[in-house]
Structure 1
Amino acid sequence: MIDSSQAKHQIQHVTNFQDLVSTPFSREINAIGWIRNLYGNFAEIVSKIDVNENITVIDEGQLRELSLSEEGNLAREILLNDLQLLTAHGAAPVLNVIKCYDRDDEFPFFPTDVYSFHVDRSPIPTDTFLCTYYGAPSDILLNSEAIQKITIPEIRDELKKLHSEDDEGFEDFLTENFFDLHYQPKPNALPISLGIGHIWRLAIDYPDSKIPPCVHRAPKEKTERLLLIC
């Protein structure tokens, strides 16, 4: 799925859930994927959900109550098992049908929504888990191919105009508005698709972390997307 030699130094594939959660990150590796070929009709599950919002949460009870074909039931069992595995690990997985995410238009030259390449942040040590079962999958960007937007001089100058002419408190302003979490691909950078059906564990930014956080983005949806995330 991933060919480049650089990617092999940042991304690791595993074949089971235990290795997914127990394999340590390193200074090089900050994305670990349990690579799977799933069976079942996940599109059927999406079609049976009453989607009235841009993001609709599917709880376990609702999932169990769906009337499904044999292929749909195979997909449901996979979803229930993934939810159980992650919950037992201590995570809090959420299964969503996503039509689209809210767009950020407060600062048109610097959107901070999830369609922008970004890293996740937490006040405590933790990881991001995600899996796309149906619809467009997420992308990641190699850290070597990403540049933090706030370090780009012309962008930084525009942000200073938003803040004030005084540099005092500027760094706090960047953090409070999540500007520091966003990245821009370098010229000729190649985003890497996380694919369908694979559970990924991504390193995030938290205090005293020694691992570079994984740069990723949500796709622009063409159809509804069935996503598990925590």
Structure 2
Amino acid sequence: MTNKFLRNHQIKMVNHFSDLINTKFQGLNNAICWHRDLTGDFQEIVSKLFLEENITEISIDDLLQLDLTTAGALAREIIINDIKQLTEFGASPSLNLLKQYERDDEFDFISTDVYSYHVDRSPIATDTFLCTYHGAASDILANEQATQKVLIPEIRAKLRTLFDGPEAEFEAFLTEYFFDLHYQAHGDAKPTNLGVGHLWRLAVDHPTQDVLPCVHRAPMENPGEYRLLLIC
């Protein structure tokens, strides 16, 4: 898996947390990976957590209350350390036990849920951090392998029928309802799966960003399996 990431011009590999947060995005690079082969039993942690509805946020206290084997305790230590490092950096990490995200099926011609390829946007300089400890992992896509959905003529025409205002305000409408954040993969696109255990930093669309935001999507969950995901 390391070699696959190394061959990808979109991804820069690092070996330490300090490099993950301090390395600058440049050129076509808009994803940075701290590649890790984690030890510990993360499945044990998932099996002992309680899911409320489809997504439950798990606190450090929740983790500390679990009665775990040695392997489970090692996995817990890794998760807690990740949370603490990201918090000390100034991020707001959230550890989620996840069955599934809410699906967007309001329109049959465009989806705006996280299963659709999309980019993140922020009014301030920030990045998206994520790590899948257990379960299916997210995909990213090189920007040249996807097209913004609002630029696809058929989709744009249908979106125009939803808007009653003047043409000059149409772009603001697309932004207000987040249609412009979503992308359609090209037929020959080759997504990269982010894998389990690696801590990633993805470029976000904000005014001071020097590179294109990273196009990514949440995976379809494996049947009968919960995901354990750290994200901020």
Q: By the TM > 0.5 criterion, same fold?
A: yes
Pairs within 5 Å for 1:135-150: 135-150=135-150
CA distance in 2, matches of 1:219, 1:167: 36
Instruction: Report the identity percentage.
Output: 57
| Shift of residue 88, structure 1, vs aligned partner | 0.9
| Shift of residue 165, structure 1, vs aligned partner | 7.6
Residue 27 of structure 2 corresponds to 27
Residue type of the partner of 1:177?
Answer: Y
Residue type of the partner of 1:126?
Answer: T
CA distance in 1, matches of 2:81, 2:207: 32
Residue 229 of structure 2 corresponds to 227
| Shift of residue 209, structure 1, vs aligned partner | 2.2
The answer to whether the 8 Å contact 2:141/2:192 transfers is yes
| Shift of residue 10, structure 1, vs aligned partner | 1.4
User: What is the RMSD computed on CA atoms of the aligned residues?
Assistant: 1.4
Residue 66 of structure 2 corresponds to 66
| Shift of residue 64, structure 1, vs aligned partner | 0.6
| Shift of residue 156, structure 1, vs aligned partner | 0.5
Q: Which runs of 5+ in 2 are unaligned?
A: none
Residue type of the partner of 2:66?
Answer: L
| Shift of residue 191, structure 1, vs aligned partner | 0.9
Q: Give 3-state SS (helix, strand or coil) of 1:28's partner.
A: coil
CA distance in 2, matches of 1:168, 1:87: 42
**Does 2:4 correspond to 1:3?**
yes
Residue type of the partner of 1:13?
Answer: M
Residue type of the partner of 2:18?
Answer: Q
| Shift of residue 166, structure 1, vs aligned partner | 4.2
Deviates more, 1:121-130 or 1:45-54: 45-54
Residue type of the partner of 2:152?
Answer: I
Residue type of the partner of 2:168?
Answer: E
Pairs within 5 Å for 1:198-213: 198-213=198-213
Q: Give 3-state SS (helix, strand or coil) of 2:161's partner.
A: helix
Pairs within 5 Å for 1:1-230: 1=1, 3=4, 8-164=8-164, 166-222=166-222, 223-230=225-232
| Shift of residue 4, structure 1, vs aligned partner | 8.1
The answer to whether the 8 Å contact 2:31/2:201 transfers is yes
TM-score by length of 1: 0.96
CA distance in 1, matches of 2:82, 2:5: 29
| Shift of residue 109, structure 1, vs aligned partner | 1.5
Which runs of 4 or more aligned residues in structure 1 lie more than 2 Å from their structure 2 counterparts after TM superposition? 1-5
Q: Give 3-state SS (helix, strand or coil) of 1:170's partner.
A: helix
Q: How many residues align?
A: 229
CA distance in 1, matches of 2:124, 2:146: 24
CA distance in 2, matches of 1:148, 1:98: 28
The answer to whether the 8 Å contact 2:145/2:185 transfers is yes
CA distance in 1, matches of 2:111, 2:195: 25
| Shift of residue 53, structure 1, vs aligned partner | 1.4
Q: Give 3-state SS (helix, strand or coil) of 2:168's partner.
A: coil
